Structure 1
Amino acid sequence: MLRTAAAIILLGGWEVAGRSGLVLSEVVPPASAVLRAAGLLLIRPAFYAHLLTTVVEIAAAVGFALLGAVIVAALCGASRFLRDGLAPVLYYLAPTPKIIFFPVALGALGVGPGSKIMIGALSAFFPIAIGILSGLMRIEPIYLDVGRSFKLNAWQTAIRIYVPCLWGAMLTGLRLGVGLGIIGVLLAETKLASHGLGFLAIQSYNAFRIVDLYAVILLAFAVAALINALISLAERRQRHA
């Protein structure tokens, strides 16, 4: 109820601001106009091709980021020397805006989806990796001692000790990583693309269709909110498991 009330207040304030004349309606159009434009986008079959492109790129980017983060965490778990060497590097590189690597991505992967996936994966990798590493360093040594006393092999130790202990930390890192991955993919799509929500947004901006621009942003926000809701659902199930 509180979230619904907050959304209604936000949309109401947006509508009043857009119609008050205090701001240029070309810059901040009324919420009703944006919602109408979003509705028109949703009934156009071409929009779903762009949406599918962005969703696939986000899914691939997050998948690669998660795979890389798990590999790094496994290496750090297997060797304290690697953990002491890699962890500071991750912490220092994490705040770097990953869009600066876009020229490198273009040179390596071309103008297709690969370069957008690479930027999204770089953006998502660091929060996920740092989240898993933070969970790794909080594992109680007694759990590992118990595993050794039961003569668990490396695979059994990973499944029965590491995965349950790291699941919550991984989901927290994943929540942050997905958000940054979405930003990375959309930013890359605005730079050089012919498909995707980022392409639609920059195309609307270049044509000065500001209402359509806001509509695309609103729908991109809805996609991010849906993904975040799915992660929250997984977190709740993990807590009640």
Structure 2
Amino acid sequence: MTFVPTAEKLMPELTTREEIALLARALWREGYNDHLAGHITALQPDGTLLCNPWLVRWDELRPEQVIRIDLAGNLVEGDWPVPLGIPLHLALHAARADVTWAVHNHPLFGTVWADLGEIPPIYDQSSALGGGGDLVLVNEYSGPVNDAATARSAVDAMNGGHLALLAGHGVFVLGGSARAVFQRAVALEQRCQRAWHVRAAGGTPTPVLPAGFLNHLKASDGNGFLGFWESAVRAELRADPTLLDPR
């Protein structure tokens, strides 16, 4: 008998709220764990956004705590407050129909490179798995971080890309699914971590992977690695078997 892997065989069917809660928890384990910081948004067919609320850490988020907001940042559904700094996501979803999922947080190594104002090289294949074109450096501080005009200029500066270091701030990862943004976010932090270690060890600044290989991965939409996201989901459900139980 031949095993044909499908997402349905590898994990339970999930609602978007469940995906957001699982994504938050899985990314927390991957270093996206700056206390109350960070936003995850998922664009819905009616033009609203589902997102994590303010005041709930990513490692404790549950599906029933996920809120719904409109593109003006108003709370439409839920009983938790709208997260601070959400204008970056509002500007993104208003401007780019190609993006349905967005993740922002301050992982350690991604934030270090953002603080340096440098794009880290890719040294190994795991660091390249995110796809999404070129990583760009965006200086979004032309005004306050919760300012709509500043947010629009930051989105424009991404120039259609899906991976960004926000100078002196953190990272911004975009995609078309929870699977895509999880893979891209993990690969980005691995890229930043390993580039830092190579530099600290006095290694070469010249990447060793073939250009053709890197260009192939850059063209990925982040959805091709079946099992990467699904295994993370299973790990979270083992850690908290009640996570998908209604409350």
Question: What TM-score does the superposition give when structure 2 sets the normalisation length?
Answer: 0.28
**Which structure has the larger Rg?**
1
The normalised TM-score by structure 1 is 0.28
Q: Which is richer in strand? A: 2
